[in-house]
């Protein structure tokens, strides 16, 4: 079934791939019309009535009527009292799905409304990934095989009759009709639903090898663990993915910076023709896709039920902070991304930081999380700067990167000066000399990319040299497993709170 459906979809999607991407001028028109269309649809909801949607006829009027809110504010003001039965609350009709987040920063899951319209929007985003692949590779046969989704459990919790919560992969699976070829997705349900991570990894790493896999999708850190398991099962074979998936064409990744993992992935595909395509998809929506090569930015999807606004990251939290839209954004500025969606999110703070690299084509780079900015000493280092610094340092030393996290530590008897402590995991545990060298390179790279850090490091004003603590391979997986956060959309937080840092160091001392 999946081969027939794939060929059929391939013919259709190639027509879309042949079309030129939407122009900048058209994108602005589409975004304005989209916002006003969403407002009109939700005018009679509780939220629409409260915010005078009947009088909203322009973007500026919308911004005046609707303040920026985060999840906690929406939960408290509109969702908590009625949850899980949200009827005409912030979106017309009933919300039948909630995307349950991984809670990377706080450890607490959130329940993001996911309307039927948003399900369609997410599906369209997935199709756009294939369209971009076909644009870059017209001879592709990726749709004639299976797509390996190395995600979390497809299980959904029924919160009320007909109302479900779970990961987006589970929502998508439930909404995929059989005629569309459910069997084109791997793994099968009996493996996907396994709760024990080690058991799931072991069985999938063996079972997946003869399943006609053409595309693989997942978080880089978990894909790395999967691939290493596959290689370990067959030590006599080459460490090249083409030896295990001969028709593999595409690796789709997202959810975290790819810079630290790029070298590893390049090594395991070698000279094979395997494309990497980054996506920016969150529980709130499918936002952007890489339409060019590695590190050239992701193009925003502007016609898919989501209206975008932006606030300069260093102004977030200020009552007078200006809200920008695609018509007045600037290049190379860190913005907090704000969305209004077809699931009833209005002026919603996603919590991510992005930066535009190309205004004309609306390409962005993911720079990190607002809550994951390293700034105990006022340095304001974003995830991207941390990941680039560690990646460059690892490359200069020829180290095979696995994962890392960083916390801030005050010097004894003072809260005015301290240092950053990097917990790093490589293929092999580093010697003392290697740790010192790695720390020195990281220090230099952060000084180049972040003026706030450089100022505070100069003459050790309030930050002294960082330290590196090398941990054995598998430490971060063990730590995540202890928290019940292995696999799927769960990821290691780059910036650790003091309690998390102490917890990880305690685990490390026990190794």
3-state secondary structure of 407: strand
Phi, psi (deg, nearest 5) at residue 311: -130, 135
DSSP codes of every residue in 425-494: EESSPPPHHHHHHHHHHHHHHHHHH-HHHHHHHGGGSSB---EEEEE-TTHHHHHHHHTT--STT----S
Note the pLDDT of residue 345. 98
- What residue spans of 19-97 are helical by DSSP H? 24-41, 46-50, 59-65, 71-74
Note the pLDDT of residue 17. 67
Percentage of the chain exceeding pLDDT 90:
69
The CB density around residue 195, as the number of other CB atoms within 10 Å, is 9
Phi, psi (deg, nearest 5) at residue 400: -90, 105
Note the pLDDT of residue 245. 95
Q: Which residues contact 119 (CB under 8 A, 6 or more apart)?
A: 97, 171, 172, 175
Note the pLDDT of residue 328. 96
Q: How far is CA 242 from CA 214, 222, 265, in A?
A: 10, 19, 12
Beta 467-471 vs 418-426: how paired, if at all?
Answer: parallel
Chunked in runs of 10, what are the mean pLDDT values of the chain (511 residues)?
Answer: 59 70 95 98 98 97 97 96 97 96 64 96 92 90 91 88 91 71 82 87 93 94 93 91 95 90 92 93 95 90 97 87 96 97 98 96 94 90 94 93 93 82 93 96 96 92 94 90 79 91 81 51
Note the pLDDT of residue 101. 83
Q: How many CA atoms lie within 13 A of 232 on its CB side?
A: 9
Note the pLDDT of residue 16. 66
pTM, two decimals, is 0.91
Q: Could you report the per-residue pLDDT of 47-94, keeping only the tens digit for each? A: 999 999 999 999 999 999 999 999 999 999 999 999 999 999 999 999
| Strands of the 285-290 sheet, one edge to the other | 185-186, 146-149, 213-218, 250-254, 275-282, 285-290, 298-300, 363-369, 348-358, 334-341, 306-312, 324-325
Q: Could you report the per-residue pLDDT of 470-487, keeping only the tens digit for each? A: 999 889 988 998 888 877
| Closest listed residue to residue 471, CA positions, set 445, 495, 442, 438 | 438
Q: How far is CA 211 from CA 68, 152, 384, in A?
A: 47, 19, 36
């Amino acid at each position: 079934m999946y081969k027939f459906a794939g060929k059929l979809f391939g013919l259709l999607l190639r027509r879309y791939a042949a079309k030129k991407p939407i122009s900048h001028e058209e994108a602005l028109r589409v975004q304005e019309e989209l916002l006003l269309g969403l407002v009109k649809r939700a005018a009679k909801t509780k939220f629409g009535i409260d915010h005078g949607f009947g009088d909203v006829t322009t973007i500026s009027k919308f911004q005046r009527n609707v303040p920026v809110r985060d999840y906690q504010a929406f939960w408290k003001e509109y969702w908590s009292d009625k949850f899980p039965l949200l009827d005409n609350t912030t979106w017309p009709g009933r919300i039948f799905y909630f995307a349950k987040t991984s809670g990377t920063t706080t450890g607490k899951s959130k329940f993001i409304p996911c309307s039927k319209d948003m399900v369609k929007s997410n599906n369209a985003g997935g199709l756009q990934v294939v369209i971009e692949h076909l644009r870059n590779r017209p001879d592709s046969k990726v749709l004639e095989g299976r797509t390996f989704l190395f995600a979390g459990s497809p299980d959904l919790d029924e919160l009320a009759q007909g109302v479900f919560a779970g990961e987006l992969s589970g929502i998508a699976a439930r909404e995929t009709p059989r005629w569309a070829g459910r069997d084109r997705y791997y793994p099968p349900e009996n493996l996907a639903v396994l709760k024990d991570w080690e058991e799931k990894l072991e069985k999938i790493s063996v079972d997946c090898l003869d399943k006609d896999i053409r595309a693989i999708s997942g978080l880089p850190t978990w894909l790395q663990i999967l691939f290493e398991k596959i290689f370990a099962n067959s030590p006599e074979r080459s460490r090249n993915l083409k030896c295990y998936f001969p028709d593999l064409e595409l690796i789709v990744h997202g959810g975290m910076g790819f810079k630290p993992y790029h070298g590893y992935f390049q090594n395991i595909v070698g000279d094979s023709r395997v494309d990497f395509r980054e996506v920016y998809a969150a529980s709130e929506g499918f936002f952007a896709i890489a339409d060019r090569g590695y590190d050239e930015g992701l193009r925003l999807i502007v016609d898919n039920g989501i209206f975008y606004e932006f606030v300069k990251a260093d102004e977030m939290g200020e009552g007078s902070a200006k809200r920008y839209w695609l018509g007045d954004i600037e290049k190379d500025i860190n913005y907090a991304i704000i969305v209004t969606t077809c699931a009833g999110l209005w002026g919603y703070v996603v919590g991510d930081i992005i930066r535009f690299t190309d205004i004309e084509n609306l390409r962005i780079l993911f720079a990190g999380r607002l809550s994951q900015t390293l700034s105990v000493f006022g340095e304001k280092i974003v995830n991207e700067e941390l990941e680039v610094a560690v990646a460059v340092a690892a490359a200069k030393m020829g180290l095979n990167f696995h994962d890392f996290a960083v916390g801030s530590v005050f010097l004894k008897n003072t809260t005015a000066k301290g240092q950053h402590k990097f917990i790093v995991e490589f293929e092999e545990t580093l010697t003392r000399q290697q740790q010192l060298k790695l720390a020195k390179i990281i220090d230099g790279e952060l000084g180049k990319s972040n003026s706030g850090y450089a100022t505070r490091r100069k003459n050790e004003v309030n930050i002294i040299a960082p330290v590196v603590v090398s941990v054995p391979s598998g430490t971060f997986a063990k730590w995540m497993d202890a928290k019940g956060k292995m696999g799927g959309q769960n990821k290691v937080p780059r910036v650790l709170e003091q309690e998390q840092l102490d917890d990880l160091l305690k685990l490390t001392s026990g190794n």
